[in-house]
Structure 1
């Protein structure tokens, strides 16, 4: 059985790997620091179990699981996290995770879980596994044939009739990634899965890799869906997930498979001459931070963890943190703390308010923690600050008459 551990913390992934090696040396364990490495391993190995950290740079564990489920439906997923947020656990279960483990992961719990899943995998029906392999092989064959056809290459004596009988009319959707010279394996994987899922949702069709930086979708949409609407939905989803520029263009309605090579050629020519490529997360990311800043000012007294705030504006936490610092010049936690303590200074000017009430009003349930944070920032305790300001106010009024 093959197990993949995806976690950006080296000591966590190596620790889990070492533990599995001790309790179940017969299993082969692979490790990945980022989602991109994990995607590469899953493409090259038949992985049975994935343990993924909920917060990884670039793409969260939940996003990684969500876009992988369609392509790898047989994989058992376990989400690991340093956070006990119920919303995370709830979303993980909704996406099909078998368990949600909090760090540090106990050896006993891990042993029980791996043994349970190993038994389940062994009991999987052999015929089902054979059927899965057959479906996968047919998918690769179909996409390979379509790729050659779209590129204008010879497909030999292959009879296309069974291949195209369900597509009397169809549209082509071309997505091109712009990353310079760097690898786009992860982005390629994201586009393939997002586009495939939306095709299944709104009609029928499939996605083929056209070249290293381009993917081509063939879709016959439901009667109530226009291809322009479909394109906008694809664009919205990819803008959320991708961190590099991309471009999307559709062919309109087509009726003849023999015209596919010509249509694709024209789409690529149109793409090359079109307006600048879409910059995902640039404008939308900046707008998201503006929304976040407004939200923070209105809700600074509530629980405002980085993860919760990122979910409010639909960004993954690592990327939200990066954008936030670019926009404000401060780390997220530092910004929220400063805002709360500045508000506390104003409240301390009211002598009728108790310190415990002020702490609660600015988001601190623990009076001791509030005092520590205040002293760290201003080198005074809240009480000392209140006394100092009281003296300053008295002095500003002038000395009383003799």
Structure 2
């Protein structure tokens, strides 16, 4: 235990400290010569027991106890008083003091009191641990049951109502992470950020649907606060996460039975195809992707393949590629291939079929169709017209 002794008489402080330290060497004794010092120690240290004089200059022991118990109700108090001050001691007990000691303090009575309080503190600590464990277990049970329900799975007869009885209406907020790497750290960050924001905006809880998806249920104090909550969530996650993510939300829900369908709706909505990203990682990924495309455009190449090379989800990669290059992936590759084909048609004697194969079109008929649609003429016509075609611009249709 950490025991704080508060008394303006040094001889009493040191006498109590000696007795406790000799009899209970495992306990730590803190000393304060006045209530002001005691307040600072109570703020800075985890104190289990306070032994305080009743009458001291400035603040009385009763005032110190009243002031501190509001902030630290778990601390036990014992007051020290002279016989003439006994009425103060009785008042202290009524205010919540565990006991009192009369001056001069007898060693035996002090030792017996510390032994009793030592047992009480240990028992309360054990009860608190059990209560915390029960609370955590109930939280995990609630979140597990809700996550199973939200995923559309059978609850095996479990009644979900008691877990959400404090939420007669609510909104859902879903965060989905997009990464093939281990996302446990990101998962932890999302859970903590979302929980804190929901507690600020109302009340609710966060359930883990799978290793990359979390679902928050929140009852807002103000219905208009959902947009602000989502905006703050995105801002925080962009700052802390190093992986693409999505934030999806629902309208107001008043029946638990609507949750599974609403979760499916959010996952399939157009917004589910839009990803937030972290700028530095995204920039680097697209640089690598462009280098790869320029080196391999003559071979079979696909968005999915290039996305896998830079370790990004294909949908997210497509969105990010267009954002960074100003051009869709398919259009970018087609433009690159046909630009190289025009060079070869102008500057070489290669057959059109060979050129088509070199720029990534093994089917010469398909190559000719794409070329005509983009350049306004066939490869043969382009070659026949020669250098006059050098300034011709490719059209901006996105096809292959």
Q: TM-score range by the shorter chain?
A: 0.3 to 0.5
The higher radius of gyration belongs to 2
TM-score (norm 1): 0.38
Q: Choose between structure 1 and 2 for higher RCO, CA contacts under 8 A separated by at least 6 residues.
A: 1
TM-score (norm 2): 0.38
